[in-house]
Amino acid sequence: MVKQLFGLKLRLLANGYRRSPLQVFGIIVGLLYALGAAGVTVAGLTALRRVGPDLAGSITVTVGSIIVLGFLLVPLAFGTEGPLHPRAFSLFGLSANHLAAALAITSLISLPALAITAIAIAQVVIWARDPLSTILAILSAVLIVATCLLGAGIARVIASVLLATRRACEVATLLLIAVLVLLAPAVALFSSVDWNRAALGSVKSVADVAGWTPFGAAWSAPADAASGNGWGAVLKLLIAVVAVALLWLVWCALVRRSLIAPERRESASHDGGLGWFGVLPNTPAGTIAARSVTYWIRDPRYRTPLLAVPVAPLLIVIVLAAAGVPGTVLALIPVPVMCLFLAWLTHNDVANDSSALWLHLASNTPGWADRLGRIAPALVIGVPLIAIGSPIAAAISGVDGALLLLIGVSSGLLCAGLGVSSVLSARFPYPAVLPGDSPFAQPLAGANAAGLIQSLSFLAPIALSLPALGCAVLGLLHPGGSWPMVSLLVGVGMGLPLLALGVIWGGRIFMRRSPELLALSMRS
């Protein structure tokens, strides 16, 4: 059975490259990025061999615990059943325990498995200092790989059940939106820490706690052995063994349940509620806003790009921190960047409608109402993001006048971005993913134009917000002056008119090009 599943897994991986050249290129880029990230992690861990066991242990346990936690949590974001889901074998009459073992072994053929295996081997290199720590490091490597792969498999099966219904997906999306609003101050707090002074103490405190948990016990056992704490190392290794055993029992139980349990289906709703249509005003703009908010909650073509909103500022902060930018400045970056990406998400909203755009034309919906309703979700997220994130980020930064310049720059970027998107989505839409398809399956038609429009919709708001950005920079260079207030007035004073202009101008374009827009959206 294992041999057959191995062959099936290899064929599935090979079939992933039998796509269009552009999709294959995207897969290769993602693969190289993942391999690069894993390579950097392995190189960083291997370099710890040259430092003392206490420092190396603190860093290894902290990083390792985060990696294990990622293997448990990331699969929960995807509720779809893969081709090797245990339920796919329910008609073959296989033994549940044999199938569970075969699927667990087959999971070794994957990029995450190769990455965690390389990282586990790297921690063996770190602790190959004496016989006891070397033996424990080898045993820990096996336990680390088993913990991560079993945990990821369990998380995928649970996610396929929990996120099988529309209501569960809606709740998960609302939680994601709440995280987006709260993550900006968290990134700001991360960026403001004086890592030269606070990092070692913080990392050691985290490692001391994580080392006694199933997340970090396997990582901590060889570190304790290298530090001379042999009994503590054996006890932590025992904790890791018990954790793997419990994960195996849970995995077998889930496989057994999947083989006999019917697929969870959406039950009929009897509440008679109208959802967002009953909350927002009964006007053309309010109705389109309700429909847009519903799309952002239910449609994976909107939910998936939302992940870029918190990830982008985090990557920018990490790069700038590595370049030596002070934390007081880094704390001011997340909120404006998140507002910019949030506004950018609406730049091709019309193409996502497909044939549903016909309803707008048949009901003679005013163009400005269409434009205003489509940007409502971004405003629903962006306004609380500015209201909550700006005061916290300003307090973390400690820069005089930071609150005013943050509100000014963030408001300018959000409003200008939504204004630009309102015009571009009506004037220069490009083919989008069809409803129900994977959000990563971008059509090939108009690929060159899509890249140009995406770049324009991203850079234009920055150019329009340069006055507010310039005043903010002057406020940072000359603290105590009136530049923060000027940045606020310029950002809000220019952003709101740009937003209104974009809605009105885009509405006129929408009315004039309605037949062309309908033809393109139905062709997407």
What confidence tens digit (pLDDT) does each residue in 297-324 have? 777 777 767 777 777 777 777 667 766 7
Alpha-carbon separation of residue 451 from 339, 433, 443, 444, 446 (angstroms): 21, 15, 12, 11, 9
Q: How confident is the model at residue 365 (pLDDT cuts 50, 70, 90)?
A: confident
- Greater confidence, 239 or 1? 239
- Greater confidence, 443 or 281? 281
Please give the average per-residue pLDDT across 1-9, as a whole number. 69
Q: How confident is the model at residue 12 (pLDDT cuts 50, 70, 90)?
A: low
Residue type, position 442, single letter: Q
pLDDT at 195: 45
Alpha-carbon separation of residue 73 from 70, 78, 148, 254, 368 (angstroms): 5, 10, 11, 17, 42
pLDDT at 173: 55
**Spatial distance between the Cα atoms of 423 and 505, rounded to a whole number of angstroms:** 6
Position 177 pLDDT exceeds 60: no
Average of per-residue pLDDT values in the chain: 79
- Counting every residue written for the chain, the total comes to 524
Please give the average per-residue pLDDT across 419-439, as a whole number. 78
CA of residue 277 relative to chain centroid, distance: 28
pLDDT at 172: 58
Please give the average per-residue pLDDT across 510-524, as a whole number. 79
Count of alpha carbons within 13 angstroms of residue 494, beta-carbon side: 23
Lowest pLDDT segment from 187-196, 207-216, 406-415: 187-196
- Is residue 343 within 8 Å of residue 386, measured between CB atoms? no
Q: How confident is the model at residue 34 (pLDDT cuts 50, 70, 90)?
A: low
pLDDT at 270: 47
pLDDT at 142: 93
Q: How confident is the model at residue 359 (pLDDT cuts 50, 70, 90)?
A: confident
Which candidate, 62, 66, 64, places its Cα nearest to that of 209? 62
What six digits make up the tokens of 460?
């234009």
- Is residue 57 within 8 Å of residue 224, measured between CB atoms? yes
Position 90 pLDDT exceeds 80: no
pLDDT in tens, 194-238: 544 544 565 677 788 888 888 889 988 988 888 888 888 889 999
Provide CB contacts within 8 A for 287, sequence distance 6+: 277, 280, 373
Q: What is the DSSP letter of 441?
A: -
Alpha-carbon separation of residue 198 from 188, 201, 218, 421 (angstroms): 16, 6, 26, 42
> How crowded is residue 388: how many other Cβ atoms within 10 Å of its Cβ?
15
Residue with tokens 């991560």: 148
Percent of the chain past pLDDT 70, that is, above it, reads 76
What six digits make up the tokens of 125?
């290199």
pLDDT in tens, 451-479: 678 888 889 999 999 999 999 999 888 88
Please give the average per-residue pLDDT across 6-29, as a whole number. 63
Strands (DSSP E) along 239-352, which ranges? none
**Spatial distance between the Cα atoms of 463 and 340, rounded to a whole number of angstroms:** 12
Which candidate, 332, 312, 303, places its Cα nearest to that of 77? 303
Using alpha carbons only, give the angle 11, 17, 18 rounded to the nearest 5 degrees. Answer: 85
Position 354 pLDDT exceeds 50: yes
- Is residue 57 within 8 Å of residue 227, measured between CB atoms? yes
Position 74 pLDDT exceeds 50: yes
**Spatial distance between the Cα atoms of 433 and 343, rounded to a whole number of angstroms:** 19
Position 191 pLDDT exceeds 60: no
pLDDT at 351: 80
pLDDT at 327: 75
pLDDT in tens, 35-63: 776 777 777 777 777 778 888 888 888 88
- Is residue 41 within 8 Å of residue 120, measured between CB atoms? no
pLDDT at 166: 56
Q: What are phi and psi of 37, to 5 degrees?
A: -65, -45
- Greater confidence, 207 or 187? 207
pLDDT at 467: 93
- Greater confidence, 128 or 412? 412
What six digits make up the tokens of 280?
């927002």
- Greater confidence, 318 or 498? 498
pLDDT at 226: 85
The interaxial angle of helices 96-106 and 2-15, nearest 10 deg, is 40
